[in-house]
Structure 1
Amino acid sequence: MKLHILFICCLISFAAQAQHILTGKITLEGQNETAFGASVYISELKTGTIADTSGSYRIDGIPTGVYTIKVSYISMPTVTEKNVRISANTSKDFTLKPGSNSLEEVVVTGTMKEVSKLDSPVPVDIITAKFIYKNPVPSIFEGLSYVNGVRPQLNCNVCNTGDIHMNGLEGPYTMVLIDGMPMVSGLSTVYGLSGIPNSLIERVEIVKGPASTLYGSEAVGGLINIITKNPSKAPIFSADVFSTTWRDVNVDLGVKFTPNERTSSLLGVNYFNYQNPIDNNGDGFTDLTLQNRISFFNKWSFNLKNNRQANIAARYYYEDRWGGEMRWNKTFRGGDQVYGESIYTKRYEVLGNYQLPGPEKLTLQYSFSSHHQNSVYGKVPFNADQKIAFAQLLWDKEIGKHNLLFGTPFRYTFYNDNTTATRHLDGQDHPDKILLPGIFVQDEIRAGAHALLLGARYDYNSRHGSIFTPRVAYKYKFNQTDVVRLNVGRGFRIVNLFTEDHAALTGSRQVIVKEALNPEQSWNANINFVKKIVTGNSFVGFDASVFYTHFTNRILPDYDTDPNQIIYNNLDGYAVSKGVSLNLDFNFPFPLKIIAGGTYMENFQKENGVRFRPVLTEKFTGVWSVSYEMPRAGLSFDYTGNIYGPMRLPVLGPEDPRAKTSPVWSLQNIQITRKFDNGLEIYGGIKNLLNFTPPSNSIARANDPFDKNVKFDDQGQVIATPDNPYRQTFDPSYVFAPNQGIRGFLGIRYTFR
């Protein structure tokens, strides 16, 4: 009898520990394509898999029990099925239907239309808020440091302003949009990338290559579209606060209001404060600019009749920043006793869109920005005022296989400063007032696996006349795993030195503009290939591009002809930027995810038969992000990093003792996050693990910033003296990396939905 009882107990124990298999197929409603790459996840077991090229999936080792199964796919709502009992090998199929609650893989930047990333004829990179949180930063400017082919570049050792380089092209060739509106340009190219609350960012879409056909001047090398959260889908309250061992503090707050069922509003506040002067490299100057910055952002969303939408947003930004000699204070502002660069910035923005009533899909987009800057660079004042008004009417029309988009943009720019840029022969300031009306048309033709995008834009600049920018894009979708794209287009940009090139204002170099600067013009082409590979429960994404840009006119600063001057003139020759980039995305069956990318570039300018590489353009870059999660413990680990190849640096002639090229350098960070069920997260880690900093002598003659002890000859050239054997003048433009070394950080994040 005892043996029978023991045998029965063993059978019960075996049955309880039996491991079953769940299989099935995932299909897309109304589509012939399979749901390749769809995610199947069992919530209770915290395990899952990915559907193969036929849409089939398989999960092994499932104990007997009742489970919740979630199925997710790009551009489709997540399907959740509860109380699924598995007591034997089970087969279960799912059908995914289109809907409004889709995953965040819909892009709008490439074509101005919502389309899944895979179906876009223009390649678009997506950076989610979750990616930015892997290495918390006080501004989106720093957050882009770990995106392949994108490099935030500091332009001054003293005030730490910067811009965004893309595929080796300088910051002015990159257009920055907020919710599709051209809000960051001119003066704000340097200062406007800070103060956008990270907690309000839904995602960032990046297009590398020509986009002037849709977005006009400045979108030569590509564009960055910062898309803020939809108030109706945002959490009720969010907060993110962190600090580092340098005693800087960043605060992000977000609050949602819902006055009625058709109206929702999102208010965001960003505050950053750093008031702890540090001089670790011993040059007598602050290593990091002291800053006091606050930004308010308010966005309203309205659901109108017939599913029409309207949005309006406003932002106010104020910043007081200074860098300079450690003993500087505001009593020395603008004087020649103690050197400092002090910048007061005030900025207002309004942007929105409104879908007009009626049978046609007509949308009015509009924006206005006012940017005022009161600054001094040593004893040189720079006061500037810029106002930009923009409006655009879009008509989206489908005719058969033709998906047409018509636009009528209009842009008005007012600019005035106290430099020679706006001072005429009568000695008075005459503000620049530029009118830029235009029209563009885009035709997207789809035929099976083929998609052809044709675009053309005509603008009339009140100063430079007619501007024509065509574009063509072709996409072929071999299957659900392989896509190839070809893009060719023209770029066009008008240069304003004093709003774009900080070196024109700082240091003691004289700015020489030899002739009237003509608009820059270029042709750009790139080929993109995407492949997805599923091996068992693992997923590998492969994204490769080859790019080529040819400038027929390019305006670059000449630091070489005369070490005491920065010379600008029209290009007598041509310039080329070309290269290849590769992105890899690894998803494993266990909770490990790796994202890695690299770009190799060849940038050169050829003028008067001489070929040379522009300053501050690297040969190669690499980025990576490694994430590992322990769901049951609520822990996650993130290791992020980048690496940059050597750059040619702006030295003061052949006698300058500073290195002519930068070393290979890398910034690496590690973060640990503890997540709680109530929406609370605590995170901390170390930034700049390798403790990399630029050379301590980066600022030339930091001991004599006003050149009081520099001797000049009759031709204005520096004379060698015992105090100045290398014939240097004060120059803070020699900068390629931040001066902050290794430091710890700690933060807390809370989200209430």
Structure 2
Amino acid sequence: MRHFFLILLFVASHVFAQQTVTGKVTDGNQSIAGATVQLSNGVITATDGNGVYMFENVSAGNYNITASYIGFRTQAKDQVIGTKDITLNFELKEDGEALNEVVITGTMKEVSRADSPIPVEIITSKLFKKNPTASLFEAVGMINGVMPQLNCNVCNTGDIHINGMEGPYTMILIDGMPIVSALSTVYGLSGIPNSIVERIEVVKGPASSLYGSEAMGGIINVITKSPDKAPLVSADYFLTSWGEISTDAAVKMKTGKATSLLGINYFNYNVKADKNHDNFTDLTQQNRISIFNKWSFNRNDNRVASLAARYVYEDRWGGEMQWEKKFRGSDSIYGESIYTRRAEVIGMYQLPVSERIFTQFSYNWHDQNSYYGTTPYMATQQVAFLQAYWDKQFGASHTFLLGGAMRYTHYDDNTPATASADGLDNSAQNTPLPGLFIQDEWTLDEKNKLLGGYRFDYDKSHGGVHSPRVAYKFSPNHTNTFRASFGSGFRVVNLFTEDHAALTGARDVVIAEALKPERSYNGNLNYVLKVPARPFIFNMDVTAFYSYFTNKIVGDFDTDPTKIFYTNLNGHAISQGVSLNTDWQFNFPFKLMAGISYTDVFRIDNTPQGSEKTRQLHAPKWSGNFIATYTFNKSYSTDITGNWYGPMRLPILPNDFRPEYSPWFCTANIQFTKKFDYGLELYAGIKNIFDFVPKYSLIRPFDPFNKTADDPVTNPNGYTFDTAYNYASLQGRRMFLGVRYSFM
């Protein structure tokens, strides 16, 4: 019996033994605070201010232990843990090619995100898979302070707001090229195959010193995958209980010294839904296909050469439930029907010389054939862009950038925007916009970095435009980073690409004066804190921003409910606020990302009666987002994502019964994912869990052509049909089911 208990005690000492694993993480010279250390059973900790980590009560067994930190290669070690405590040290090596932490948008150069003097926020392809969407227009809403705003309750087109500023102040880039802008912002972001997207970079605040007009409010740069590093085959297919079908696929091919990545996106929604019983579709019917092909070429000395092209076709409509294509443009059954065709070409070529000289070019053609009720909107836009810059390192401290750019825009439509002075003939707009820019990034020492930039553009209508900026970064240690930036931005007038309300049949457009270019002056303060703690890893990123606008183009919706009057603001506008992003990684397999933004966006009009303050439409003072992930094991995970918004001012009619401010609301989603071997995933979930939809939407939907609007008996308040009162999608709760596959 005594031998039996000795054997039992020996076995128990091995099975139930719990030891301590500790060690230090360094970069070879100094300790790294905030480094992530993880056991193969999913338990995570972080190093303290001295670079020391500790796991307590670790059961005996074989483990793979990894140490990682931003900008360094992850190091893994196998370790057998028995009956004794273990000391295991790590020495990490710098990794300048860690794609998820390399950014280019802030400085037009590839730099570590942590080293960039301009704060850049990132959505990786892994992140927006946590809430699958049919277009990047919806996906960018996962970033705190970025709001995809629907501006029309019938056709569901919209724009992207950054820090409360409307879509015209947001520049959309694809691989650094201004390929999606003006008329095509929303349509251009729809149809980019998610399978070819590497990441999305967002810079908040003016960046005109590098990118020119339209970069006043911020930049969204869609970085596509390098064909050389993309999976051989990838695909993503999902459908929803509302009848939406989305297919996304990509394949890599290699021919000689060239590698190609071909991506296809197809989206279809052809189910009429009217759950608020106003006889109008709650969601537009859509049929969209997009084909994207990118080539990269192997050259001597690893010089860059790439070429990409995309074609998009979309047919969308919304309107009365009885609408058919035969009613397009008629006044019997109301419908808003939009045919869109886009073609794009993007290229980059590094010159075969000893200096680092790059050329970039892009061209896009956009054709839109639309009817908003009986009002036609026929428009074409062509934008050609050519840029060359010299990237030079002077000594160990100065990284210099010198370049020139030329953008030529041809725009034609059937509205007053391109009418001749007498209004009798059509006169297309041809706008050349040449520019020169210079930038110097000065590394004062390992803790201090200073960036200065300047750009000069010349517009034929407005003359020369100057755009300077300066940025400073201070990193006293691994856990704290301070950034400050100041600069100016500008935007030349392109009226009918800015406000969808100008295109609807509900209102006439009145241009009250010769419009001047807008200017903005901006300052940002950014602080990043990384807290190493044994129970969790905590990262915090807080930014305070202030922008002052002059010559702001404003639309007067209030004077006459049947018209929009456009003028330059006699006064100024301000966008100011604070945004906070947090990232929590616990020592069990749970991760939480949450953000909150406070924005105050308003304009001051100077009138004979004095100054008048008006709050910006569709700009909530409070908003936020959250992304929570729990991983049960390597095969199962759950993601909860969502956005919430405070009250925002809405365009209302005189004597409108609908409230001028929207309520607080939240749209939340949940997804369950099962991973199989060989790159296969199944996922399912629920979108808009709380089934939130606006209580009010259209006014007088029974008389969309205003045929009886003048009848004082049936319409004593003088209401007119209007589609602009909108703050959230009318699409309620829905389930989705999908499958992904990726093969390297």
Give the Cα separation in 2 of the matches to 1:514 and 1:325.
34
**Any idea what the Cα deviations from partners look like across 1:720-747, whole Å, max 9, x if unmatched?**
6121122011111111110001111111
Matched letter for residue 33 of structure 2? F
Structure 2 CA distance for partners of 1:46 and 1:586, relative to 1, 3 Å? closer
Q: SS of the residue aligned with 1:556? A: strand
Structure 2 CA distance for partners of 1:86 and 1:94, relative to 1, 3 Å? farther
Matched letter for residue 538 of structure 2? V
Q: How far 1:407 sits from its partner (Å)? A: 1.4
Does structure 1 conserve the Cα–Cα contact (< 8 Å) formed by 2:14 and 2:82? no
Q: How far 1:125 sits from its partner (Å)? A: 0.7
Q: How far 1:70 sits from its partner (Å)? A: 2.8
**Any idea what the Cα deviations from partners look like across 1:500-544, whole Å, max 9, x if unmatched?**
211011132221110011001110111111111111141111111
- Structure 1 position 223 matched with structure 2 position 219: yes
- Structure 1 position 117 matched with structure 2 position 113: yes
Percent of aligned pairs with the same amino acid: 52
Does structure 2 conserve the Cα–Cα contact (< 8 Å) formed by 1:64 and 1:88? no
Does structure 1 conserve the Cα–Cα contact (< 8 Å) formed by 2:45 and 2:537? no
Does structure 1 conserve the Cα–Cα contact (< 8 Å) formed by 2:581 and 2:595? yes
What does residue 729 of structure 2 align with? 738
Q: SS of the residue aligned with 1:749? A: strand
2:249 pairs with 250, 253, 272, which one?
253
**Any idea what the Cα deviations from partners look like across 1:432-487, whole Å, max 9, x if unmatched?**
11111111001111122111110000011122211110001111112111111111
- Structure 1 position 564 matched with structure 2 position 562: yes
Give the Cα separation in 1 of the matches to 2:492 and 2:32.
46
Give the Cα separation in 1 of the matches to 2:50 and 2:136.
39
2:438 pairs with 421, 438, 441, which one?
441
Q: How far 1:222 sits from its partner (Å)? A: 0.6
What does residue 694 of structure 2 align with? 694
Does structure 1 conserve the Cα–Cα contact (< 8 Å) formed by 2:451 and 2:472? yes
* Equivalence map 1:479-498=2 (5 Å): 479-498=477-496
Q: How far 1:8 sits from its partner (Å)? A: 4.3
2:551 pairs with 549, 553, 569, which one?
553
Does structure 1 conserve the Cα–Cα contact (< 8 Å) formed by 2:47 and 2:534? no
* Equivalence map 1:119-134=2 (5 Å): 119-134=115-130
Give the Cα separation in 2 of the matches to 1:101 and 1:750.
25
- Structure 1 position 172 matched with structure 2 position 168: yes
**Any idea what the Cα deviations from partners look like across 1:179-198, whole Å, max 9, x if unmatched?**
11111112112321200111
What does residue 684 of structure 1 align with? 684
Give the Cα separation in 1 of the matches to 2:329 and 2:561.
25
Q: How far 1:257 sits from its partner (Å)? A: 1.3
* Equivalence map 1:540-689=2 (5 Å): 540-607=538-605, 608=607, 609-631=611-633, 634-653=635-654, 655-689=655-689
Matched letter for residue 113 of structure 2? K
What does residue 132 of structure 2 align with? 136
Does structure 2 conserve the Cα–Cα contact (< 8 Å) formed by 1:63 and 1:87? no
2:714 pairs with 718, 723, 728, which one?
723
What does residue 465 of structure 1 align with? 463
Number of residues of Structure 1 aligned to a counterpart in Structure 2: 737
Give the Cα separation in 2 of the matches to 1:5 and 1:540.
49
**Any idea what the Cα deviations from partners look like across 1:632-656, whole Å, max 9, x if unmatched?**
5x21111112111111111112x12
What does residue 303 of structure 1 align with? 298
Give the Cα separation in 1 of the matches to 2:255 and 2:22.
46
What does residue 499 of structure 1 align with? 497
Matched letter for residue 472 of structure 2? Y
Give the Cα separation in 2 of the matches to 1:479 and 1:117.
16
Does structure 1 conserve the Cα–Cα contact (< 8 Å) formed by 2:383 and 2:410? yes
Q: SS of the residue aligned with 1:131? A: helix
Matched letter for residue 623 of structure 1? N
Q: How far 1:39 sits from its partner (Å)? A: 2.4
Structure 2's unaligned 5+ residue stretches are: none
Structure 2 CA distance for partners of 1:573 and 1:215, relative to 1, 3 Å? same
- Structure 1 position 38 matched with structure 2 position 35: yes
Does structure 1 conserve the Cα–Cα contact (< 8 Å) formed by 2:622 and 2:645? yes
Q: SS of the residue aligned with 1:463? A: coil
Q: How far 1:82 sits from its partner (Å)? A: 4.4
Q: SS of the residue aligned with 1:76? A: coil
Q: How far 1:73 sits from its partner (Å)? A: 2.3
Comparing 99-108 with 146-155, which one deviates more in the overlay?
Answer: 99-108
Does structure 1 conserve the Cα–Cα contact (< 8 Å) formed by 2:362 and 2:385? yes
What does residue 106 of structure 1 align with? 102
Q: SS of the residue aligned with 1:11? A: helix
What does residue 706 of structure 1 align with? 705
Give the Cα separation in 2 of the matches to 1:578 and 1:484.
19
Give the Cα separation in 1 of the matches to 2:111 and 2:328.
52
- Structure 1 position 377 matched with structure 2 position 372: yes
Structure 2 CA distance for partners of 1:103 and 1:497, relative to 1, 3 Å? closer
Give the Cα separation in 2 of the matches to 1:347 and 1:580.
37
Does structure 1 conserve the Cα–Cα contact (< 8 Å) formed by 2:239 and 2:738? yes
Structure 2 CA distance for partners of 1:180 and 1:471, relative to 1, 3 Å? same
What does residue 750 of structure 1 align with? 741
Does structure 1 conserve the Cα–Cα contact (< 8 Å) formed by 2:42 and 2:588? no
Give the Cα separation in 2 of the matches to 1:68 and 1:292.
48
Q: SS of the residue aligned with 1:428? A: coil
- Structure 1 position 266 matched with structure 2 position 265: no
Does structure 2 conserve the Cα–Cα contact (< 8 Å) formed by 1:74 and 1:104? no
What does residue 406 of structure 1 align with? 402
Q: How far 1:68 sits from its partner (Å)? A: 2.9
2:521 pairs with 516, 520, 523, which one?
523
Does structure 2 conserve the Cα–Cα contact (< 8 Å) formed by 1:148 and 1:623? yes
Q: How far 1:101 sits from its partner (Å)? A: 5.0
Comparing 425-434 with 151-160, which one deviates more in the overlay?
Answer: 425-434
- Structure 1 position 149 matched with structure 2 position 145: yes
Give the TM-score taking structure 2 as reference length. 0.96
Give the Cα separation in 2 of the matches to 1:332 and 1:16.
76
Structure 2 CA distance for partners of 1:111 and 1:101, relative to 1, 3 Å? closer
Q: How far 1:296 sits from its partner (Å)? A: 0.6
Q: SS of the residue aligned with 1:110? A: coil
Does structure 2 conserve the Cα–Cα contact (< 8 Å) formed by 1:669 and 1:687? yes
* Equivalence map 1:7-86=2 (5 Å): 7-29=6-28, 32=29, 34-43=31-40, 45-82=41-78
Structure 2 CA distance for partners of 1:251 and 1:353, relative to 1, 3 Å? same
Does structure 2 conserve the Cα–Cα contact (< 8 Å) formed by 1:76 and 1:101? no
**Any idea what the Cα deviations from partners look like across 1:245-296, whole Å, max 9, x if unmatched?**
1111001101111224x43221111000000011111111110000000001
What does residue 430 of structure 1 align with? 427
Q: How far 1:103 sits from its partner (Å)? A: 5.3
Give the Cα separation in 2 of the matches to 1:107 and 1:504.
37
Give the TM-score taking structure 1 as reference length. 0.95
Give the Cα separation in 2 of the matches to 1:72 and 1:252.
32
Q: SS of the residue aligned with 1:145? A: helix
Q: SS of the residue aligned with 1:118? A: coil
Give the Cα separation in 2 of the matches to 1:202 and 1:661.
38
Does structure 1 conserve the Cα–Cα contact (< 8 Å) formed by 2:42 and 2:589? no
Does structure 1 conserve the Cα–Cα contact (< 8 Å) formed by 2:506 and 2:723? no
Does structure 1 conserve the Cα–Cα contact (< 8 Å) formed by 2:627 and 2:641? yes
Comparing 498-507 with 580-589, which one deviates more in the overlay?
Answer: 498-507
What does residue 331 of structure 1 align with? 326
Structure 1's unaligned 5+ residue stretches are: 712-719
Give the Cα separation in 2 of the matches to 1:84 and 1:304.
46
Give the Cα separation in 2 of the matches to 1:295 and 1:543.
36
Give the Cα separation in 1 of the matches to 2:452 and 2:377.
43
Comparing 288-297 with 20-29, which one deviates more in the overlay?
Answer: 20-29
Comparing 11-20 with 561-570, which one deviates more in the overlay?
Answer: 11-20
